[in-house]
């Protein structure tokens, strides 16, 4: 037989404050978690006191009850409380997420309410050049571009292209952008940029 040990108690220790300076708090110490709860309750009480209706009720309580006795009592109770084997703040977090989250899910996503009609997002269509006009596009090299319509080339800085912008080639339709007998090939070096200015209407191919 082999004995297998668990070191759970080493990791499962609760931090407690036994004394502040030379002042002893209590024989068993005060859990740090309880102090945090107390501070959180006090903060909540302060906020609640400022709220229109609740504040009225809170302000009717005497200060020693509102700012001392009740928060201390509540923090003590909460620090003792264990729900489903967990401390209060972990349980509270789960419950808040549960209550605020969706109850019905489809594909593990929030399920749409009854009667909801799904409409797709705008669909992006990439042209293959067979339509009747020069489309607006940006292309970054390396690569080659075949231009099949009348066009004008401008060597100009292309703003907003690439990581820092930079110089590139601007291509725009010339006149009606009539088709060329022979296509022109533009070879782009690495990081070379081509910007095509789209034509409004035309029969050209690009």
Partner 1 sequence: MRAPIDFVYGNCVFAAGAQDCWAAFVVESATYTWLSDEAKRSRLLSLMGALEALEADVQILRVSRRWPAHVYAEEMSDPQTLASAAQARAGTRRSYLDAHRQRLEELDAVTPVVFLLVSLREPERDIASYVSQAIGRGPWEWWKEVRRALSLHDRRLLSADELERARVAADQVHARLEDYLPVRPARGVELQWLIRRGFCRGCGEPLVDGLHQPRALAFERNGEAVLAPLEGDVMRWTDYQVEHRGRSLRVESECGVSWQAQLVMGALPERLQFPGARAELMFAAPEGLPFGIDLSLNARYLPNELALRIARRRIQDADQIVRAESDGEQGVSDLGYERTQEARDLLAYLQASSKPPLLRSTIAIAIGASSEEELEARVERCRRAYGEVHLHRPLGDQLQMFIQHLPAQRTRVAGYDDTLTSEQVAAMMPSASHAVGSRTGFYLGYTLSGSRQPVRFNLREGSDRDRNATILSVGALGSGKTTLAQKLQYEAFLQGARVIDCDPKGDHRFHLLEEVAPHVECVALRPDPALRGMLDPLRVAPAHLAQDAAVSFLRDLLPGRAAPAWETAVVGAVDRVMRRASEPTCLEVVRALKEGDETDVQVGKALEVYARSGLTQLGFADPAVKLAPVGRQAVTYLPIRDLPGPQPGMRRSEYSQSERVGEQIVRLIAMFAMHLMSAERDRLKLFSFDEGWRLLSDPIGRALLASLQRMGRSELAVPIISTQLVADGMIGERESLENLVGATFVFGMRSESEAARALALLDLDPADVRKRRYLLELEAGRCLFRDHTGRVEAIQVDLVVPALIGALSTTPVS
What residues make contact with partner 1 under the rule CB under 8 A?
Answer: 1-13, 15-16, 18-19, 24, 27, 29, 83-87, 90-91, 93-95, 97-99, 101-111, 140, 142, 190
**For partner 1, which is the closer residue by CB, 16 or 153?**
16
Angle between helices 88-100 and 32-50 (to 10 degrees): 40
Backbone angles phi, psi at 3, to 5 degrees: -90, 130
Q: What angle do CA 174, 178, 180 make, to 5 degrees?
A: 100
Q: How far is CA 84 from the centre of its chain?
A: 31
* Distance from C-alpha of 177 to C-alpha of 150, rounded to nearest angstrom: 5
- At its nearest, how many Å lie between partner 1 and the CB of residue 99? 8
Q: What angle do CA 13, 19, 22 make, to 5 degrees?
A: 155
* Distance from C-alpha of 193 to C-alpha of 66, rounded to nearest angstrom: 69
- At its nearest, how many Å lie between partner 1 and the CB of residue 125? 15
- At its nearest, how many Å lie between partner 1 and the CB of residue 144? 14
- At its nearest, how many Å lie between partner 1 and the CB of residue 138? 13
- At its nearest, how many Å lie between partner 1 and the CB of residue 193? 12
**For partner 1, which is the closer residue by CB, 119 or 190?**
190
| Whether 188 contacts 194, CB under 8 Å | yes
- At its nearest, how many Å lie between partner 1 and the CB of residue 15? 7
**For partner 1, which is the closer residue by CB, 27 or 115?**
27
**For partner 1, which is the closer residue by CB, 106 or 117?**
106
**For partner 1, which is the closer residue by CB, 27 or 122?**
27
**For partner 1, which is the closer residue by CB, 27 or 62?**
27
CA-nearest of 147, 130, 133, 128 to 202 is 133
- State the sign of the Cα–Cα–Cα–Cα dihedral 162, 167, 168, 172: positive
Widest distance between CA atoms in the chain: 98
């Amino acid at each position: 037989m082999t004995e297998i040990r668990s070191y759970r108690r080493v990791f499962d220790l609760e931090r407690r404050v036994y004394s502040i300076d030379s002042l002893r708090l209590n024989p068993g110490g005060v859990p740090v978690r309880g102090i945090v709860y107390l501070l959180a309750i006090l903060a909540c009480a302060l906020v609640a006191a400022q709220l229109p209706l609740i504040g009225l009720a809170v302000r009717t309580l005497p200060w020693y009850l509102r700012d001392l006795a009740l928060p201390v009592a509540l923090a003590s109770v909460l620090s003792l409380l264990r729900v489903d084997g967990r401390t209060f703040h972990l349980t509270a977090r789960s419950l808040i997420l549960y209550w605020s989250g969706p109850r019905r899910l489809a594909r593990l996503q929030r399920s749409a309410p009854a009667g909801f009609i799904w409409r797709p997002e705008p669909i992006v269509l990439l042209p293959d050049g067979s339509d009747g006009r020069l489309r607006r596009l940006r292309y970054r090299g390396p690569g080659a571009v075949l231009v099949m319509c009348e066009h004008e080339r401008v060597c100009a800085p292309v703003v907003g292209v690439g990581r820092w912008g930079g110089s590139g080639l601007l291509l725009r339709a010339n006149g009606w952008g009539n088709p060329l007998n022979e296509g022109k090939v533009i070879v782009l070096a690495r990081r070379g940029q081509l910007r095509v200015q789209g034509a409004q209407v035309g029969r050209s191919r690009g």
